[in-house]
Amino acid sequence: MTDTLLVRLKPYDPRRGHVLRRYTYAGIKFQEERGWYRVERPVAEYLRAVREVPSDRYAPLAFDVCTEAEAKALDANESEVAKVKRSATDELKVVPARAAVTTEDLPPKPATPTQPAKDDDAASKRGKRERE
């Protein structure tokens, strides 16, 4: 079966720009949730160039186009990534909490005088001119 390839719509992920959920070409309706399709090489080569937004040449590619071995490796990698989440039965280390610092934990401010000293007060004010 060297004249066929496996293709699929890339999994839905709006953050990466993968937003197509279905696509029809040559009478074949590709659906994202269905997964891999085995198609003839000319169809696969066309789908290799299809973009998520047809008018944007910088948009991400819409399809994964692989040989059978590459598709198996891609599926294995995705299943490993999905297993990253921990379950309640896993042996988990205790994660220590960090203490929150509040204003009560801060040292008190030194007292500041509320009224300036009499000498400073006289020097800072300008004298008024008297009428002649």
The pair of structure tokens assigned to 68 is 């059978």
Residues in the chain: 132
Structure-token match 């029809």, residue found? 24
- Residues 79 and 69: their CA atoms lie apart, in Å, by 16
Q: Look up the pTM and report it.
A: 0.59
DSSP state of 13: B
Task: Give the other-Cβ count within 10 Å of 3's Cβ.
Answer: 8
Measured CA angle at 70 (ends 65, 75), to 5 deg? 95
Q: What is the pLDDT along the chain (132 residues), one digit of tens a residue?
A: 469 999 999 999 999 999 999 999 999 999 999 999 999 999 999 999 999 999 999 999 999 999 999 999 999 888 887 776 666 666 777 777 777 778 887 888 877 766 655 655 555 566 667 676
